[in-house]
């Protein structure tokens, strides 16, 4: 018996430790050297790792390609964010809580970076689950260094998972819909996301991550991206689970056809790139600086004229016109998913009045039509094909996140709770806010660890029409059941019922 125990102890001592124990890690892009800071001393951060060749000059408006190997990469600071502009309109995110969607770093076209956060020198002896994060921003903005979306505090607390953020191209640089491009290469931002996920799969084991347990999470247009990914890659999904928050493939945004290239041509004409030949048009505009193009788009938006929209188009490669038909045919990844929305999604999208808030009827209609009802339909489609879905409704209302009395659980308000950044501005968090944050973090982690059994072990059961979803953070209760029927009563499929109000 003593010999057996001794052998067992020797075997255990030989097992590898999968926590990061070196700040220099080998990757396909080359060796990267990260950092540790004083705020989260138990988290190794590897920032600004290039996963793709810079999409500049002749590579502007072409699909991204994997980064060639460098001798060494300094991964101690965030890389550039992709070209974008901040409008001058007052709204919740620009006026009350800019920590949500305004990246801090400079913008530039050399922007296709991954950021990795992993436990530092912890006692983990197995490869850790990975959450890959796709930021939102309406496909117009967003980046890896948005304050509320930096996960180091979350990992400092858990020491049980890794988070990877993926930068991707937005607006005209990510979704040009240009006549001079191949029809299947219009959604460049979505192709960036895919290449980023391939980079994660190839490299995450060296950071202590488990390539077999990669959860893809996005919010708003990031959630739409995750669901697009869900339908685009059923044969090679990379992921073990999906977290789709406040958005889905059924959210009505973008264009159903690539035939109308007028927005791109309008920009080209402004810079005297007017040509009857689509290839000459796009080659000419490639010689115009990205800052000049962004400045023109900003000036036009700020002037109050109809903005020029550059969003994903139906290309039947990364975005499809028939998501429900594809879902019911089982033509998607069939991976388990967390899906949910917020109580007050629509409040932030309407004319802004800090004193009185928006027209509540219009806000309710926006919540239902853009968010809740599309997710109701997505959930129904998944249930019809027997795929586990865990549905929630977030109702937290915290004054350091929602400083105006009417804002409530508005669009994106749940993100600081999950990332653990809820107390970084506008006063310390309340004990209840911290409890809600920890519960949401535990839910996300349990799902990443085991997308099928992790949440039921915490009392959150998968969707069934006669079952319960989870209501989070509502009126002083951390979590409570809410009947799935209450989430669905306001909807007729993906469309709101006339005069309906959102739950609860």
Residues forming the active site: 220, 345, 411
DSSP 371: I
Distances from the Cα of 365 to the Cα of 254, 349, 358, 429, 487, angstroms: 19, 11, 12, 31, 14
CA atoms of 36 and 181, how far apart (whole Å): 43
**Cis amide bond preceding 18, omega within 30:** no
Residue 77: exposure state from Cβ atoms within 10 A (0-12, 13-18, ≥19): exposed
CA atoms of 393 and 484, how far apart (whole Å): 10
Pair 222, 247: CB distance under 8 Å = yes
Which residues, other chains included, contact 25 with Cβ-Cβ below 8 Å and sequence gap of 6+? Answer: 31, 32, 34, 46, 206, 207
Pair 293, 172: CB distance under 8 Å = yes
Tokens found for residue 288: 């115009």
Strands 468-474 and 477-483: antiparallel
DSSP lists the bridge partners of residue 468 as 483
The four Cα atoms 363, 366, 369, 371 give a dihedral, to 10 degrees, of -100
Tokens found for residue 140: 């117009």
CA atoms of 51 and 196, how far apart (whole Å): 6
Q: Among residues 83, 67, 61, 63, which one has the least CA distance to residue 317? A: 63
Q: Determine how many CB atoms are found less than 10 A away from the CB of residue 11.
A: 9
């Amino acid at each position: 018996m003593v010999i057996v125990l001794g052998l067992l102890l020797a075997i255990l001592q030989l097992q590898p430790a999968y926590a990061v124990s070196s700040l220099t890690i080998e990757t396909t892009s080359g060796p990267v050297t990260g950092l540790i800071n004083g705020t989260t001393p138990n988290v190794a951060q590897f920032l600004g790792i290039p996963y793709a060749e810079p999409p500049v000059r002749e590579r502007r408006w072409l699909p991204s390609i994997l980064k060639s190997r460098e001798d060494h990469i300094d991964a101690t600071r965030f890389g550039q964010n992709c070209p974008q502009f901040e409008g001058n309109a007052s709204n919740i995110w620009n006026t009350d809580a800019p920590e949500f969607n305004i990246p801090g770093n400079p913008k530039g076209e050399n922007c296709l970076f991954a950021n990795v956060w992993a436990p530092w020198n912890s006692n983990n002896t197995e490869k850790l689950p990975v959450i890959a994060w796709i930021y939102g921003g309406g496909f117009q903005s967003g980046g890896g260094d948005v304050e509320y979306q930096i996960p180091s505090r979350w990992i400092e607390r858990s020491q049980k998972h890794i988070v990877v953020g993926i930068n991707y191209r937005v607006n005209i640089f990510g979704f040009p819909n240009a006549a001079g491009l191949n029809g299947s290469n219009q959604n460049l931002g979505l192709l960036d996301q895919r290449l980023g996920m391939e980079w994660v799969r190839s490299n995450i084991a060296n950071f202590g991550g488990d390539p077999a347990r990669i959860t893809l999470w996005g919010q708003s247009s990031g959630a739409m991206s995750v669901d697009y990914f869900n339908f685009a890659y059923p044969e090679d999904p990379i992921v073990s689970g999906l977290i789709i928050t406040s958005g889905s493939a059924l959210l009505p945004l973008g264009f159903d056809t690539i035939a109308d290239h007028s927005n791109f041509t309008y920009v080209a004409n402004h810079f005297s790139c007017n040509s009857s030949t689509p290839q000459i048009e796009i080659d000419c505009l490639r010689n115009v600086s990205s800052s000049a193009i962004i400045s023109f788009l900003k000036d036009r938006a700020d002037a109050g004229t109809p903005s020029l929209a550059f969003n994903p188009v139906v290309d039947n490669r990364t975005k499809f016109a028939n998501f429900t038909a594809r879902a019911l045919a089982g033509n998607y990844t069939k991976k388990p998913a967390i899906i949910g929305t917020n109580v007050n999604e629509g409040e932030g999208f309407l004319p802004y009045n800090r004193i009185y808030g928006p027209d509540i009827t219009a806000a309710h209609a926006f919540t239902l039509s853009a968010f809740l009802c599309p997710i109701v339909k997505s959930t129904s489609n998944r249930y019809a094909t027997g795929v586990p879905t865990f549905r929630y409704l977030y109702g937290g209302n915290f004054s350091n996140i929602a400083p105006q009395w009417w804002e409530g659980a508005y669009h994106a308000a749940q993100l600081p709770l999950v990332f653990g950044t809820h107390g970084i501005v506008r006063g310390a968090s309340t004990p209840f806010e911290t409890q809600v944050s920890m519960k949401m973090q535990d839910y996300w982690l349990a799902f990443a660890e085991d997308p099928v059994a992790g949440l039921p072990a915490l009392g959150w059961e998968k969707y069934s029409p006669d079952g319960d979803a989870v209501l989070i953070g509502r009126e002083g209760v951390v979590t409570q059941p809410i009947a799935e029927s209450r989430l669905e009563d306001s909807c007729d499929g993906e469309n709101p019922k006339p005069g309906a109000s959102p739950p609860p």
